[in-house]
Amino acid sequence: GQQVMQIPQYQHVQEGEDFTTYCNSSTTLSNIQWYKQRPGGHPVFLIQLVKSGEVKKQKRLTFQFGEAKKNSSLHITATQTTDVGTYFCAGCDYNSGNTPLVFGKGTRLSVIA
Amino acid sequence: DVKVTQSSRYLVKRTGEKVFLECVQDMDHENMFWYRQDPGLGLRLIYFSYDVKMKEKGDIPEGYSVSREKKERFSLILESASTNQTSMYLCASSVAGGPYEQYFGPGTRLTVT
């Protein structure tokens, strides 16, 4: 079945450093979504990308969807302590039928002040 | 604002007990999902439902069942709880079609002793 791999599993950065997490799918995706889960909280939707090569920005966060629609990345510029949490990507392939999202295992970000 | 509520934040049950986890959403969403979250394993889909009375198995349905008698309510049932079902359980909902963003509840941390 469809698999979504996410790396790295953990990332520790100094406040002010940049951070990137990568998401790779075994199959072509119809879309990719990104979620953030703060410690002790639940996943919260950040954004969805649907077009090949699409790039979207939310303040210091930049999201990219690969040209082949099999990979995606989330880049955070100049991390802050408020960025701490686990970032999940999730995608699905419409061609596989009415399938739900498949989540990556997440990247846990720690920011050292 | 979409609100997804879960019946308990923390639950402790004994091995062999029947456990009910309730999830209610107030935004008239057609789709509802149950996930379990374990360290290092990310979000794993247990069951989902695209309509009342309808259910589909996710990636790890063994040992679980679900019920959706009303559109706003999706229940997860552990027929005979086992210690390996100790986990965080997250419910989510979304509108039909898409896939669209999923709205998660606060989670239930279940401990089976």
Q: Is the pLDDT of residue A48 over 70?
A: yes
Distance from CA of A65 to the nearest CA of B (A): 16
CA distance A12 to B13: 36
**Host domain of residue A19:** 4-112
- pLDDT tens readout for residues A24-38: 998 999 999 999 999
Q: Count how many domains chain A has.
A: 1
Residue B78 above 90 pLDDT?
Answer: yes
Question: Any idea what the CATH number is for the domain that residue A82 is in?
Answer: 2.60.40.10
Instruction: Give the largest CA-CA distance in chain B.
Output: 40
CA–CA dist B65, B77 (Å, integer): 5
Cross-chain residue pair A100–B105, CB shorter than 8 Å: no
* Domains of chain B as residue ranges with CATH: 4-99 (2.60.40.10)
- Give the pLDDT confidence score for residue A42 in this predicted structure: 97
Q: Cα–Cα distance between A32 and A51 in angstroms, integer? A: 9
pLDDT digits (tens, 9 = 90+) for A49-106: 999 999 999 999 999 999 999 999 999 999 999 999 999 999 988 776 667 899 999 9
pLDDT for B2 = 65
What letters, b where the CB count within 10 A reaches 16 and e where it falls short, cover A44-58? ebbbbbeeeebeeee
Report the share of chain B in percent with pLDDT over 70.
98
Q: Dihedrals φ, ψ of A77, to 5°?
A: -90, 135
C-beta atoms of B104 and A43 within 8 A: yes
Question: Does B95 reach chain A within 8 Å, measured CB to CB?
Answer: no
Q: Exposed, middle or buried: residue A65 (CB in 10 Å: 0-12, 13-18, 19+)?
A: buried
Contact residues, chain B, for A29 at CB < 8 Å: none
Size of interface A-B (CB pairs under 8 A): 50
**pLDDT classification of B97: cutoffs 50, 70, 90:** confident
- Say which amino acid occupies B73: R
Number of H helices, E strands in chain A: 0, 11
